[in-house]
Amino acid sequence: MKGKTIIVSVVILLCAVSSAQALEGELNGNVGLTYLSSYIWRGFDYYADDHSAFHSNIDLDLYGTGIGVKVLLSRAISAPFENAERISVALSYGNSLFDDENYVTDYTTGWVYYGFPDESRSGSKTSAHAQAAHMQEYFLALSWPEICPAGVVPSYTAVTMWPSEGDSAARKNSGWAHIVGFGYDFTVTGFVPEMPEQIFHFSAAMVYNDGMAPGVVINAASGTVDHDWSHAVFGISTDFDIGNNLTFTPAVYYQSSWEDTVNTEDEAWVTLGMKYAF
């Protein structure tokens, strides 16, 4: 099925769901803009050599149905990555199982389409930095928020990814990723009188890459990924409520890279995000 046909089908489905639920709940969501000092995507240095990027996004929660829609545009701040800039459209559904047990399981499953507005559907053959191809993925994310009395939240995510076109430049990039993660929130004394407490969110994840690579050739590794534990990522973030439904979120991340076909060096980067909720 062609990418445009898929997107049109998703829009039709969302319109139907929205019409059915309009009288039962409210449409909630947020729009945001985030600066990334480096764009590290599932271990890969997406805009090679630590180039920075801006992400703009809109997230929608459709009337309390558990169905979510997200559109994200990634743009490099400097050349020569214009043709590698991409837009992703995600449709997801989330809910919980075993609500009355300490092993209550939160889950989200969904589909993502990655498109490159400045590229042809089969990918450019002009530049190793510009070669891109439209991709799709399915994912299933599980987490267990009550299973650990100490407050640590374990999680597991499985992702499978493939090119939208069989003859695309990224036809070797199909594969899986398995992500084992942990999260922990801790509270400190607030930095300003208006916020007596400040919550920090700590995250850690290890990734087994089973052949997955992004739909853009950013280095010699793309399309030739070894099947191995590729990296671990550690992060810490916090939210500042600045009023009028605006939230500022700074974050710091560090990646320990283990597999050279994904990334040949460790990475450290910061993000600065601003979000408006409605």
Residue 192's pLDDT band, with cuts at 50, 70 and 90, is confident
How many alpha carbons lie under 13 Å from residue 238 in its C-beta half-sphere? 13
DSSP 221-271: TTT---SEEEEEEEEEEE-EEEETTEEEEEEEEEEEE--TTT-SS-EEEEE
Quick check: 87 and 97 in contact, CB under 8 A?
no
With bands split at pLDDT 50, 70 and 90, how would you rate the model's confidence at 125? very low
Q: Are 50 and 41 in contact (CB under 8 A)?
A: no
Residue 191 is predicted with a pLDDT of 80
pTM: 0.85
3-class SS of residue 16: helix
pLDDT (average), residues 81-96: 90
According to DSSP, the residues that pair with 111 across neighbouring strands are 91, 138
User: What is the enclosing helix (H) or strand (E) of 13?
Assistant: helix 3-21
Q: How far apart are CA 41 and CA 51, in angstroms?
A: 12
Task: State the pLDDT at residue 207.
Answer: 98
Domain 3-277, CATH homologous superfamily name and number = monomeric porin ompg (2.40.160.40)
Q: Which residues contact 173 (CB under 8 A, 6 or more apart)?
A: 133, 135, 161, 162, 163, 211, 212, 213, 214, 215, 222, 223, 225
Is the pLDDT at 219 greater than 90, yes or no?
no
Ranges of each domain in the chain: 3-277
